[in-house]
Structure 1
């Protein structure tokens, strides 16, 4: 996959809205911000003029986009440093619990539960973190 370079954002130009296809981002005079004429959202220019961030969102992270010269590309937040270690500890605890169940002779009942806990739950949590 080829990454497109980001272009500088001109504060005197109009751009298409990254949220909706038909809206236009229009510059707000005397600020480093744009307003959409359709969805009424305000976007500020950040990171040396190559990225816009949406203001007043209800998302847990800032929604931001970079301009490629002809369209907006969503800029994803970096994954947390602690996710991998958290999932490693969780898998280790589940493995220890599974081994203790294995020794007790209830493998025919708890083996499917162990597979779900070791595979599906961490995969779902990783999927949620990158979403």
Structure 2
């Protein structure tokens, strides 16, 4: 659907760009008060008074507002939650590897084997990257667009 330059309100019989995948079009479903995307197959409910769309087939409450030409996300987390989450994320990523490294420095290996020296450092790096992946996955849930619909590759059903 080509986007027009004139703003138009959200209407029941209109066809609009999907706010989830931003590729397909949402159209009314037959015998239902919901809409579906013809590309990503998500089901949305539209509120014409508030000019909003809500994703119905997800556990997370994703919402968008129609601006007249495109969708604007309403999924912004509170600032206090974001700061708290960032502090906890920094602690989760740095504290476990720091404790492992501190144990390695306080209690050096007794063996003269080369594995005894590189393995603790490898374990520190592995712990750091594993905890970083956990934090990235948690923060991906805070994104205004569902993480599984970001363009990292195609998933086949």
Question: CA 1:36–1:60 in structure 2 vs 1: closer, same or farther (change >3 Å)?
Answer: closer
Aligned length: 117
Does 1:92 pair with 2:95?
yes
Does 1:124 pair with 2:123?
no
TM-score (norm 1): 0.59
Question: CA 1:8–1:116 in structure 2 vs 1: closer, same or farther (change >3 Å)?
Answer: farther
Residue segments in structure 2 that go unaligned for 5+ positions in a row: 1-6, 110-116, 141-146, 148-157
- Higher relative contact order, chain-length normalized (CA < 8 Å, sep 6+): 2
CA distance in 2: counterparts of 1:109 and 1:10, whole angstroms: 60
CA distance in 2: counterparts of 1:74 and 1:88, whole angstroms: 27
RMSD: 3.8
Q: Which residues in structure 2 correspond to 1:42-61 (within 5 Å)?
A: 42-45=44-47, 49-55=50-56, 57=57, 59-61=58-60
Q: Which has the higher strand share?
A: 1
Shift in Å at residue 112 of structure 1? Answer: 1.7
TM-score (norm 2): 0.51
